[in-house]
């Protein structure tokens, strides 16, 4: 189907990556919500054993082609999900104390309340 517009009628690269079951660096970075340059930095730190996510050492597994390992980077969807889970913030649930409706406290010898409405 030729429309005269470049790219129209072709399968988008995003769909091609889904079919090949691998994400390129740009797609993986978009899914993680970071810049592509940040992903490259993270992969470099991971290779050096210096990468941490939320204070925990983390190794990112990825594929890289080329004769000397300097080709395009591909990351499996499961690895992107594993990285997203490591980045997930889980708030610490602290139990709140239920306020008591006490009218007297140890060491307090005067009646509690407002002077115009004393509690007895």
> Domain-by-domain residue ranges, the chain?
13-87
CATH of domain 13-87: 1.10.1660
CA dist 65 → 1, 27, 68, 75, 90 (Å): 33, 17, 8, 12, 36
DSSP string, 48-107: HT--EETTEE-----EE-STTS-S-EEE-HHHHHHHHHHH---PPP-PPPPPP--S--TT
Residue with structure tokens 């409706």?
Answer: 101
pLDDT of residue 11: 55
pTM, two decimals, is 0.60
pLDDT of residue 43: 95
pLDDT of residue 67: 82
Distance CA 112, CA 120 (A): 8
Spell out the per-residue pLDDT of the chain, length 120, in tens.
455 555 555 555 555 445 568 999 999 999 999 999 999 999 999 999 999 999 999 999 999 988 887 889 999 999 999 999 999 998 887 777 777 777 667 787 777 777 776 555
């Amino acid at each position: 189907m030729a429309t005269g517009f470049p790219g129209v009628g072709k399968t988008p690269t995003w769909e091609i990556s889904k079919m090949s079951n691998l994400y390129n660096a740009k797609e993986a970075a978009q899914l993680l919500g970071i810049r592509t340059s940040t992903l490259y930095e993270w992969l470099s730190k991971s290779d050096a054993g210096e990468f941490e996510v939320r204070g925990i050492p983390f190794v990112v597994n990825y594929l890289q082609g080329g004769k000397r390992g300097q080709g395009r980077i591909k990351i499996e969807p499961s690895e992107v999900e594993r990285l997203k889970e490591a980045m997930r913030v889980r708030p610490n649930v602290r139990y709140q104390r239920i306020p008591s409706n006490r009218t007297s406290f140890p060491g307090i010898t005067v009646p509690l309340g407002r002077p115009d409405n004393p509690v007895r």
